[in-house]
Structure 1
């Protein structure tokens, strides 16, 4: 067995069942080894697209994925997607063929590339250790929630794995692979009793608590633990953007906290006297540069990574611990202390349901959603208001959906006007704030949620950057809806510099018929300029959906997103 085959088989044995990428000479054998072992290879048209597909798949499926790239240029092509995954702590293994000869055209310092974007560089160094090193790479990705760049030197890949124990007593790698058992996960980090008591004390004193759940709380177990603790303490429930949909079924959900918050959600978060971030960094986006935090609000962050505590914001105190474990321990301690206190709740200082009321429940049901906020429809002149468009699409599209969103001036509209059934229905690759990732994001999410309608929301700039992956959508037979919010510009820059006397020629473009481009890739292409133009969308939804659908929506160009305008003001 060659090292390339041993590495590929090891990854599949460890639970990596999807590998994405572009195959060249250097990663040909390791990719085929994974396929032969039962993994599904998804061929992207560009390594950057493959990286983002793998990232989105891992996030949405809740298990690791692999990216396979050629040495040198294959890796550099993928670096933006790898950077996004690394910043998001996505469990991803990048199989990167490596030219170690400095005279090779393909030589680059691949370790330095990985470190530069926050990924963990590792390497297969010797045939006799290949299986152990591949296993370590998967364990690092899964159990430390890291993106690992596993460098595969060409000369090592082509070597044979020893079949007999080495003189040093190293077991046969072939036998080791046959007996492979995935590494056991570490036990969830339990908080200290002192930290639990501090959190219990803060919750007892709070009259208006708000929980904000982030990436570290995106699991059914964490959701259930937080809902139980919120029900006991009267907390309202919000999420960061990446965890949108986590509390979809709760009548006390505020949806997303931060720039995307509706006016009612922002009002209630500002009134909170205690904000607890659960697996959430409470950064400038989630807290609107601190504008959502009152001057006397107690701010607490719960995270199982010590370096994350207080990294983005000054805290009243931090709690080091796993979200699910900490929420459960806090609920146990809170109910025990309340029950044990003479006189029950009053003597124990417990103030559950302090601001949950029937009136607030009704107000949340009536006013929370962005679509209930009055606005002036600016449609006209061959352009449709993005709010009008997105509300209509929300009504048309089936509820069982998975929405992927690109970056840009438009992104607040699909993020907040399109509902999702749960946290697995929304994939938000925005840690790097790169445009052009949205289509690949939705492909990865669609493969992880095959029973849902995939909906990609893109700006025209991002759609054209990632247009090569339209072929991947068609080739995979995905019944995807791609919505392009087309203002013929890089709208974020247009609105950012609109207040000054600046030429806009560098960020505005002639009209592009993106629907025609999509038809060339085998899509059904529809151009929408007003609400009546959505009739073909209904026909496509009612039909067999034999082709993917792209909606080239000519949106009003002079409408800045509320969230981006606020972000540019810095508050």
Structure 2
């Protein structure tokens, strides 16, 4: 057995079924070996796109995303996606070819381990042929346990060296998620016992914990409303007491209700400035309990009255037990009237003046029409940009795996790769990559990837022929914005050139071909939606408040 084969076999034996990448001379044998071990390979057109496909796959499936790159520039091309995955705590394994450490000079030589760690990832290395299998297993385990990306650097001089056919692999016991301390649970229960209007706010940590059932049980016992961060969107889909996303994407009803709460229980949410609307979302007198696996996260971005270090699901279970022991049960803000109000005041129910023109469609009208046309079983992956709020506000998702939000690093150009990864992760659902024209052009090569694999996905492009966020931020200040406006791009034509189906939309009637496509789903459908560039997103003022 060679080192590359050992790497491939270890990963396949531990459940890796799919991986992504871009093949060069440095990682050719590793990619080949992992394919021969049984994993299916999807080849991207750029390493950043490949990492984002792995990231989107991990978020939509709940499994580890795996990617492979060439050494040097192959690795650095992947850095923006790797940083997004690190900030999001995505379980992702990057198999990166690397120059041997003893190499004195090479065009490709760079300290990949140091760069990976500066980006927030874990750096591991295949140390020798004898340890290759063990090193691979350790790297995979670390990304699963630590819930963040791991870069396994594979020196190119080792990849084809012989190694033991049956390496000694250490036995690793199954781990239970960490439970909180009894005193922390008691302090949280004390606050819950005296609260009359609590809300449970669930973030990315709650998603990774799979904590929906436990959080809903806690909310029912104390009469709490439910909300999520953008990263947790969909976790409480269908629950009649969920007010949606808390923060810049909050509906008017959510803002109204969250301004009345007296206790916020944040599970796996950092309480960053976007989530709390720069400290204005919740009343200043509301008490705050923050639950997180990372003790350094508690109180780091927002004041807290009680901190609980522990897994979200385990912490919620223990709080329910403590409240049961005390005989506490409350209705809070819950009731039939509240249910009716929440169901009647979604974002799509809020009145607005349609600003469509003969040449362009209002992005809100577009989003609502698509929400009606698309199947309920869907995965919505977004990009970053002026349009960003529309998919989150208007496109419903079936659960927390149905919303992929690669905005932890706020980079434009990541959404198309995420949508491709989600399409591969969940072929039972329609994947919708909701992106802007700027992000679409940055990642244009991956449109060919989606077409090459005949992925039945929708690429929804909110095309305002500009970097809209900059137009709407700086334009009203009197600054010239010619540098962030561009000639219109015909994405429908580009889609056809890449082997996909493309349509141009200027009104809801132009979406008729979508209905026909849904019946056949023979490869990607690109919707070039010419949105009115004069419509300013509701959430943009909130986003730029800190500038």
Aligned residue for 1:397?
374
Match of 1:113 in 2: 115
Query: Which deviations, in whole Å up to 9, do the C-alpha atoms of 1:170-214 show, x marking residues without a partner?
Result: xxxx3236xx68844422111111001001111111111000111
**What's the offset of the Cα at 1:102?**
3.9
Q: Provide the C-alpha distance between the structure 1 equivalents of 2:121 and 2:133, rounded to a whole number of angstroms.
A: 21
- Structure 1 residue 120 displacement after superposition: 0.8
Residue 534 of structure 2 aligns with which residue? 558
Contact 2:29 2:160 in 1 (8 A): no
Whole-angstrom distance in 2 between the partners of 1:47 and 1:243: 27
Q: How many residues align?
A: 545
**Aligned with residue 511 of structure 1, among 446, 463, 488:** 488
1:227 deviates by: 0.4
Structure 2 SS opposite 1:299: strand
The runs of 5 or more residues in structure 1 that have no matched partner are 164-173, 339-349
Cα RMSD of the aligned pairs, angstroms, is: 1.5
| 1:159 aligned residue | 161
Q: TM-score, normalised by structure 1?
A: 0.93
Query: Which residues in structure 2 correspond to 1:377-396 (within 5 Å)?
Result: 377-396=354-373
1:397-417 Cα distance to aligned partner (Å, 9 max, x none): 111111111110001111110
Residue of 231, 238, 241 corresponding to 2:227? 238
Please identify the structure whose Cα radius of gyration is greater.
1
Structure 2 SS opposite 1:518? helix
C-alpha separation between the residues in 2 aligned to 1:497 and 1:522? Answer: 38
Instruction: Sort the Cα spacing of 1:279 and 1:93 in 2 relative to 1 into closer, same or farther, 3 A.
Output: same
For residues 512 and 59 of structure 1, what CA distance do their matches in structure 2 show? Answer: 31
| TM-score after normalising by structure 2 | 0.97
Shift of 1:560: 1.7
Q: Deviations over 1:118-162 (max 9, x none)?
A: 01111111111111111111111101112111111112223221x
Contact 2:89–2:149 at 8 Å: present in 1 too?
Answer: yes
CA contact (8 A) 1:14 1:182 kept: no
Which deviates more, 329-338 or 2-11? 2-11
CA shift, 1:437, in A, is 0.7
TM superposition outliers: structure 1 runs of 4+ over 4 Å: none
> Which range is displaced more, 66-75 or 131-140?
131-140
1:381: how far off? Answer: 4.1
CA distance in 2, matches of 1:204, 1:21: 52
- 1:301 is the counterpart of 2:277: no
SS of the equivalent of 1:404 reads strand
CA distance in 2, matches of 1:511, 1:48: 25
Corresponding residue number in structure 2 for 1:364? 342
| 8 A contact 1:69–1:94 mirrored in 2 | yes
Q: Of 548, 552, 557, which residue of structure 1 is paired with 2:524? A: 548
SS at match of 2:499: coil
Instruction: Describe the SS at the equivalent of 2:419.
Output: helix
Task: Tell me which residue corresponds to 2:22.
Answer: 22
The answer to whether structure 1 residue 89 and structure 2 residue 89 are counterparts is yes
Could you list the per-position Cα deviations for residues 288-313 of structure 1 after superposition, in whole angstroms to 9, with x for gaps in the alignment? 11111211010111011212212221
Contact 1:207 1:351 survives alignment (8 Å): no
For the 8 Å contact 2:450–2:523, the answer to whether it is kept is no
Do the aligned partners of 1:15 and 1:64 also contact (CA within 8 Å) in 2?
A: no
State the SS of the aligned residue for 1:293.
Answer: coil
Distance in 2 separating the partners of 1:570 and 1:213: 24
Whole-angstrom CA distance in 2 between matches of 1:7 and 1:184: 21
